[in-house]
Amino acid sequence: MNPDEPLQGLWCATLSPLDKRGAFDAARLANHAQRLFAAGVDGIAPFGTTGEGQSFSVAERRAGLDALIAAGIAPERMLAATGCAALPDAIELTRHALAAGCAGALVLPPFFFKDVTDEGIYAAYAGLIDGVGDNRLRLYLYHIPQVSGVGLSVAMVSRLAAAYPAVVAGVKDSSGSFDNSRELVAALPQLSIFVGHEPHLPALRKLGGAGTICGIANLYPRLMRRLYDSSLDSSPGGELPLIESVIAALMRFPIFGALKSLQAELSGDAGWRALRPPLLPLSAADAGALNRAVAAAGIVPGRDGA
């Protein structure tokens, strides 16, 4: 991938499969990624929020990325989530992802302390960029305040992009606020703005946004591909209401357990059900209820599924 080509398209924030001992199962994820690519997904973002990235140590995240590449996943189709609570850890993981040839690094701000200032968040990202010290870095800022507790204002992003124009390449806006995504696209037309909330993809692309890095692509990559490809059509296809129904069904349950439960159901591989504490698998009763709710949404297995 040409680092001077702005990133766009349909990227999957991959779930992280665990083996029976609770370790990151890179082989299973590599197989999953190949199926996603075959179904039209452009790239994957491992170890993000959907991928329980913060539940894995720095050593596990390094080794996991290396194992994915060793298993045949092209690094230029990976946007590695490398944010950490501690800046030195984020610098280490970001350097590693860059050295591995990844398309970029998707980075949360330090997220332990709350009520931090824009100035402090700016200093943290500047410290990361300076700490990595390599202008080949392509940095994607990760805005997911409802989970991280630390949001990225458009003003802070603008200041950082102005100070580091070669490095700051985009934003993943997982806030769920389309107003915020619209503001980002308007203020920063030179950046690749991605949404996390899948239903916002068509409207974002109409404004010139780059695409989506999302969780539903794990489950319904073909459906997401059709949504992406029809985003600029004047009359909407039927994908949007299907995706909204699936999200509504998932949101009735603890979301991370629900995503993995449905992944297990759709893939026929119960191994996907496991999560690392503090997240837990869905109960059998909840898993059954989720499957029924999704079935009622009218998705055609095979056509819409992975």
- Residue numbers at the binding site for a copy of itself (CB under 8 A): 54-60, 84-89, 92, 109-117, 119-121, 123-124, 126-127, 146-150, 254, 256, 276-280
Query: Closer to a copy of itself at the Cβ: 5 or 119?
Result: 119
Query: Closer to a copy of itself at the Cβ: 144 or 188?
Result: 144
Can you name the residues that pair with 141 across neighbouring β-strands? 107, 171
CA atoms within 13 A on the CB side of 112: 4
Between the alpha carbon of residue 137 and those of residues 83, 91, 94, 134, 234, the distances in Å are 14, 11, 8, 6, 37
Number of C-beta neighbours around residue 113 at 10 A: 11
Nearest to 145 by CA among 191, 177, 189, 179: 177
Rounded to a whole number of angstroms, the minimum distance from the CB of residue 49 to a copy of itself is 8
Residue with tokens 């995240």, as numbered in its chain: 61
Rounded to a whole number of angstroms, the minimum distance from the CB of residue 281 to a copy of itself is 10
- The pair of structure tokens assigned to 13 is 């924030």
2 contacts: CB under 8 Å, gap ≥ 6: none
Rounded to a whole number of angstroms, the minimum distance from the CB of residue 272 to a copy of itself is 18
Residue 24 DSSP code: B
Query: Closer to a copy of itself at the Cβ: 61 or 77?
Result: 61
Farthest-apart Cα atoms in the chain, separation: 52
Rounded to a whole number of angstroms, the minimum distance from the CB of residue 279 to a copy of itself is 6
Question: How many whole angstroms separate alpha carbon 67 and alpha carbon 62?
Answer: 9
Query: Closer to a copy of itself at the Cβ: 110 or 209?
Result: 110
How buried is 6 (Cβ within 10 angstroms: 0-12 exposed, 13-18 middle, 19+ buried)?
A: middle
Rounded to a whole number of angstroms, the minimum distance from the CB of residue 55 to a copy of itself is 5
Rounded to a whole number of angstroms, the minimum distance from the CB of residue 56 to a copy of itself is 6
Number of C-beta neighbours around residue 192 at 10 A: 22
Could you write out the DSSP letters of every residue in 4-29? TSPP-EEEE-----B-TTS-B-HHHH
Query: Closer to a copy of itself at the Cβ: 121 or 223?
Result: 121
Torsions phi, psi for 303 (to 5 deg): -70, -50
Answer whether 254's CB lies under 8 Å from 306's CB.
Answer: no
Query: Closer to a copy of itself at the Cβ: 92 or 265?
Result: 92
Rounded to a whole number of angstroms, the minimum distance from the CB of residue 296 to a copy of itself is 26
Query: Closer to a copy of itself at the Cβ: 111 or 272?
Result: 111
Query: Closer to a copy of itself at the Cβ: 7 or 124?
Result: 124
Between the alpha carbon of residue 210 and those of residues 44, 95, 153, 279, the distances in Å are 15, 25, 19, 31
Rounded to a whole number of angstroms, the minimum distance from the CB of residue 205 to a copy of itself is 30
